Amino acid sequence: MSTPLVLASKEFYLMLVQLASKRTKKKNDRIIFLLSFPESSQMTLQLLYKHFPEKLVICYAKNAKDLAEFYENKGCPIYCIDTFSVLIKDIVPLVSSSKLVFCDNYFAFLARITFNNKASVVQLWHANGAIKLFGLAAKYTKNVTKRDRERYIEVYNKFTHYVVSSQKMADVFAKNYRQAINELPFGYLPTDRFF
């Protein structure tokens, strides 16, 4: 269980995200990729860069720094999500004013992003074939506060599209994220290419 101090710090963090997001006025045509799983996101990034090199912006977790820097060397702007000042000053305004955002994981700051336009926020599942519980079915969610679960749902509500491997996985996402899953063709690039 989170202590009152931890809960207060999470709320303060999200309040600052919300303020930075609401200050954003200018829309952009950037494609934002929120990166935390370099191995499973590598092919998607490769294709995005191939077709939209001038629009791609990568916002990465520290563990994905090498892959992000690879694209920085090709001319893509990159920003580290794990640096709070960069998150508030650079990433939140970019994400909140973009029309297309790809996420390879759960990113807590999305809970309070206010999009300035009809953005598509695409959740790319990073664990195709994994046998694990996730979303509200994950074991750790049984031990969190009601407010923590509400914050998880705030993030899930930001996703407008899901790329998953089958109808069965779409059903699992719908249940675990408490979401209606879009009716798009299913796919998962590494296995699609393999087959």
Cα 106 versus chain centre, distance:
5
Burial of residue 120 (number of CB atoms within 10 Å: 0-12, 13-18, 19+): middle
Residue 194 has what pLDDT? 44
* pLDDT band at residue 14 under the 50/70/90 scheme: very high
The DSSP code for 180 is P
Residue 145: Cβ within 10 Å count: 15
Q: Give me the chain's average pLDDT, please.
A: 83
Q: Rounded to whole angstroms, how far apart are CA atoms 108 and 42?
A: 22
Q: Rounded to whole angstroms, how far apart are CA atoms 157 and 165?
A: 21
pLDDT one-digit tens code per residue, 106-135 = 899 999 999 876 899 998 865 555 555 666
pLDDT one-digit tens code per residue, 136-195 = 556 656 677 778 778 888 888 888 887 776 666 667 766 666 666 665 545 555 554 444
Greater confidence, 58 or 173? 58
> Domain limits of the chain?
4-194
Residue 89: Cβ within 10 Å count: 12
Greater confidence, 106 or 60? 60
Residue 133 has what pLDDT? 60
- Residue % of the chain over a pLDDT of 70: 73
| Best CA proximity match to 131, nearest among 168, 156, 163, 161 | 168
Greater confidence, 13 or 134? 13
Residue 157 has what pLDDT? 85
Res 43 pLDDT > 80 = yes
| Best CA proximity match to 35, nearest among 20, 49, 23, 54 | 49
* pLDDT band at residue 25 under the 50/70/90 scheme: confident
Residue 3 has what pLDDT? 82
Q: What is the mean pLDDT of residues 4-32?
A: 90
Q: Which residues, at least 6 apart from 38, have a Cβ–Cβ distance to it below 8 Å?
A: 63, 64, 66, 67
Which superfamily is assigned to 4-194 in CATH?
CDP-glycerol glycerophosphotransferase, N-terminal domain (3.40.50.11820)
Res 45 pLDDT > 90 = yes
Q: What is the mean pLDDT of residues 64-87?
A: 97
Residue found under tokens 């994994």: 130
Residue 118 has what pLDDT? 83
Residue 195 has what pLDDT? 44
Q: Rounded to whole angstroms, how far apart are CA atoms 31 and 102?
A: 8
